Amino acid sequence: MFLIIALLISTLDSSAQKPANSLIQYVCSPCGQSCDKEIYSAPGVCAKCNMKLVDKKTIVHKSIAPAELSAFIKSNPKLLILDVRTKEEFEGKADPNFGTIKNSINIPISEIEKGAYKKLDKIKTILVYCSHAHRSNVVSYILTQNGFKSIVNLSGGMSVVTDKSVMK
């Protein structure tokens, strides 16, 4: 009986010590659209893009602006550059052709979603990009949720990269 009372008191004490602001903030699974910034109070689906709502704290990848791209690549010589567009986009055969970053590898998002990320090195810093930063945001989230520690998304994607020195 004493044990039951002690457990009950312990449970009440621990629940009383939780901060009032411990509510989970839900956001759209990163899709690269403006709805990524909207906050929801409950799980569900984003009304704008139909992506699953996730705990905001689970989105841990970083982003860089296109203006920072050249310096970022130079300062990370062991960087893995991952293009998640289709093979046709990667090879410049799609219209429009936004170009491709030098030394990048191509694993389309469809293959990443099937588990192709498992062949990548979880220790390396990986720069992820696509044409407009919609697919790359999704892939960046997938990678971090699967144990990758240093993921960087290219904001805006290749459609806004103007620095020709980083291009093939």
Give the pLDDT confidence of 34-63 residue by residue, as tens digits: 788 888 888 898 888 888 888 889 888 999
**Pair (67, 149) in one structural domain:** yes
**Pair (121, 39) in one structural domain:** no
Question: Residue 32 corresponds to which tokens in the numbers above?
Answer: 């690269």
Cα(36)–Cα(5) distance, rounded to whole angstroms? 46
**Pair (108, 157) in one structural domain:** yes
User: Does the pLDDT of residue 163 top 50, yes or no?
Assistant: yes
Cα(65)–Cα(137) distance, rounded to whole angstroms? 13
**Pair (83, 36) in one structural domain:** no
The dihedral over CA atoms of 92, 96, 100, 105, expressed in degrees to the nearest 10, equals -70
pLDDT reported for residue 6: 40
Range list of H helices, the chain: 2-16, 69-75, 87-90, 109-113, 135-145
**Pair (71, 52) in one structural domain:** no
* Element at 84 (helix H, strand E): none
Which pLDDT band holds residue 16 (cuts at 50, 70, 90)? very low
pLDDT reported for residue 81: 98
Q: Which domain holds residue 34?
A: 21-59
User: Does the pLDDT of residue 140 top 50, yes or no?
Assistant: yes
Q: Which residues fall within 8 angstroms of residue 136, CB to CB, at 6 or more apart?
A: 32, 84, 128, 129, 130, 153, 154, 157
Number of domains into which the chain is organized: 2
For residue 166, how many C-alpha atoms fall within 13 Å in the half-sphere facing its CB? 22
**Pair (166, 96) in one structural domain:** yes
Which pLDDT band holds residue 22 (cuts at 50, 70, 90)? low
Range with lowest mean pLDDT among 47-51, 61-65, 142-146, 152-156: 47-51
User: Is residue 16 situated within a structural domain?
Assistant: no
